[in-house]
Amino acid sequence: MTFHCRSLIVGLTLLLAACGSAERFAVSTPPVTEKVRIAFSSVEVRDVSLPSYAAADEIHLQAADGTLKSSSDVLWADAPERAVALELSRNLAQMTGRAIASEPWPFEAFPSARLELRFSDLVATSDGVFRTTGQYFVAVRDGGRERSGLFDLSVSFDPKGGPNAIAKARGQLILDLSRYIAVNGLK
């Protein structure tokens, strides 16, 4: 192998290493400690619709003037829509002790209810508040009472904690949202 060829390989290796410098942050899911009784034996978390910035891989931070800032070097560990649906399903299953799963529904029998969520906001702010707003819909099989409702929840975090603090706050926020939906939408 010639010197030129070895230099090219070393250069390409360094270039690939530099390109792979993005950090991925997993959401820390707090333990579910509360039990909630719901009216359904099974629930499918059918659709979670996030705003485009919240559905992106990049972790966004909203400045005081409303500007959303992100970096391709700071990413969520999982696709946000998938991750939020799984977090909601897991939290609700642990809270209720019922068969709850995100789509596609993995069981043979149809679920007794379907839950859809449409988020207006799901964003961390530079002043240390992670907030979510939106609407949920509960479709019921066999002619039961269908329902919908609005949500507007927030949790505080230390902005100096960076992306890890944001990921921890999102985990708490989705847990709080799960409880809110169980109490207000699934009873």
Let me know how long the chain is.
Answer: 187
Q: What is the pLDDT of residues 118-171, one digit of tens each?
A: 999 999 999 999 999 999 999 998 878 899 999 999 999 999 999 999 999 999
Q: ∠108-32-113 over CA atoms, to 5°?
A: 30
pLDDT digit string, tens, across residues 22-64: 999 999 889 999 999 999 999 999 989 999 999 999 999 999 9
CATH 3.40.630.30 fits 26-185, yes or no: no
For 10-72, the DSSP string reads HHHHHHHHHHT--EEE---PPPP------S-SEEEEEEEE--HHHHSSBPPEE-TTS-EE--T
